[in-house]
Amino acid sequence: MSSSCGFNPKKYFTKKVNLGGVLTHEPSSYTPVETGTFRVSSDELVNRRDHQGGKTTLLWGLFTYTDY
């Protein structure tokens, strides 16, 4: 274990993460968004060109954030 208490998001969000369905993250997934979810796309928040294809869901898919 490391003694530092810093949080590095790149370390955790470069791998597939599932915290009991409360929070899931799939890097480079480019999968379709399920019906019945509130979707927020990275295009709606930030104007950028280099998309990573990540998909993050909260509360068992109720909210979905996509980066594609």
State the burial class of residue 66 (Cβ atoms within 10 Å of its Cβ: 0-12, 13-18, 19+).
buried
pLDDT tens-digit map of 19-52: 888 988 888 888 788 888 888 887 777 777 777 7
CB proximity list for 60: less than 8 A, separation 6 or greater: 21, 22
pLDDT at 13 over 70: no
> How many other C-beta atoms are found inside a 10 Å radius of the C-beta of residue 25?
18
41-57 core/surface letters (b: 16 or more CB in 10 A; e: else): eeeeeeeeeeeeebbbb
What integer pLDDT is reported at residue 1 of this predicted model? Answer: 47
- Asked if 54 and 25 touch (Cβ cutoff 8 Å), the reply is yes
Q: What residue spans define the domains of the chain?
A: 18-66
Whether pTM > 0.85 for this model: the answer is: no
